[in-house]
Amino acid sequence: MSAVALPLASTSSALAAPTRTLSATLRILFTEMRYEVVRALRTRAYSLAAIGFPVMFYALFGLLLNRGESTGGVLVSKYLLGGYSVFGALGAAVFGFGVGVALDINAGWLELKRASPMPPLAYLLSKVAMAGAFSVLIVCLLTVLGVAVGHVHITLLEFAKIVGIAAFGAIPFSCLGMAMAFLVPPTSAAGIANLIYLPMSFLSGLWVPLGALPHVVQQIAHFLPSYHLAQMMYSALGASNKGTLLTHLGAIAAFTVAMLALTLVGYRRKEQNA
């Protein structure tokens, strides 16, 4: 069949190799995302921890232990809203994406998915979407808590900005989780996720302001996307912050690329042993 005959080929589509239309691909992607979010919400061990930790910490340090003090030009309760939103996004992705994918690899589930005609990106993007959805949910809960109990005054625009930043944070954090899933032994993934989640939050100043930490430690923060996302949060909330949007986005992009490269290394290694 010549190229000229191609416009007529639709009548003999049974002979042609079945290819998928864009709309069919998007439908698969949407279904995959929907089920992934539903699955994560139903998995209480995950959903309660992912939502519970930031809410609990914020309630404790942002609301209970603070007596109306200010920092960075805003109320502590408003300032910490930014930090704990980033903390929530990090946990949702490192545990939801990282540990989730590691378990799927270990159980052979990822292999079954790969053997199917599912577009591989649908699997990954559904996990990013799930992490993003949890990040947004956490920001909303923290904001409601802050406004109701912590005297936080927040404009609709500020709120929209911090929701957007948290959702955006799901991307670099998911890439971190993915690199972890492909590099560490699957059975130790949960432990290693904790070793990433907690020190990284601390070193990014999400719990204790960075100024209170030794100078050397402060330098590490610049390599962590959580630090840059937190600065973006402070800027959005009208609190004092360091750096510019451009430097933050550049650092986050560099981190994301590095994690994708690490993932590729891990994936190749697994493939050669498959």
Partner 1 sequence: MPAVMDFPVTQQPSIPAGAVAAVVAELNNVTKRYRSGVTALDGLSLSLRKGEIVALLGPNGAGKSTAVKLMLGLSTPTAGTVRIFGQDPRDTAARMRTGAMLQVGRAPEMLRVREHVAMFRGYYPKPMPYADIVAAAGLGDIQHRFFGELSGGQKQRTLFAMALAGDPDLIFLDEPTVGMDIESRRALWATIRSLAERGKTVLLTTHYLEEADALAHRIIVVDGGRVICQGTPAEVKAIGTEAVSGSATEAAKPLPALNTGTKIIHCVTTLNATHLEAMPGVQHVIINTAQARVTTSQPEATLRAMLALDAELHSIEVASPALEDAFLALTAHRD
Query: Which residues are near partner 1 by CB under 8 A?
Result: 17-20, 24, 27-28, 31-32, 35, 38-39, 42-43, 103-104, 106-109, 111-112, 114-119, 271-274
Which amino acid, 75? L
Q: Closest CB to partner 1 among 28 and 262?
A: 28
Query: Shortest gap between Cβ of 268 and partner 1 (angstroms)?
Result: 11
Query: Shortest gap between Cβ of 97 and partner 1 (angstroms)?
Result: 14
Please check whether residue 184 is in contact with residue 207, taking contact to mean a CB–CB distance below 8 angstroms. no
Among all chains, which residue has been given the structure tokens 């698969």? 28
Token duo for residue 72 = 């960075």
Q: Closest CB to partner 1 among 38 and 64?
A: 38
Query: Shortest gap between Cβ of 109 and partner 1 (angstroms)?
Result: 6
Return the ∠ at Cα 135 (arms to 81 and 208), rounded to 5°.
35
Query: Shortest gap between Cβ of 18 and partner 1 (angstroms)?
Result: 5
Q: Count of residues for the chain?
A: 274
Q: Closest CB to partner 1 among 17 and 157?
A: 17
Rounded-to-integer distance, Cα 181 and Cα 192, Å:
10
Query: Shortest gap between Cβ of 3 and partner 1 (angstroms)?
Result: 19
Q: Angle, to 10 degrees, between the axis of helix 22-42 and the axis of helix 120-149?
A: 50
Which amino acid, 260? L
Q: Closest CB to partner 1 among 104 and 158?
A: 104
Q: Closest CB to partner 1 among 12 and 219?
A: 12
Rounded-to-integer distance, Cα 126 and Cα 133, Å:
10
Q: What are the DSSP calls for 54-65, one per residue?
A: HHHHIIIIIIIS
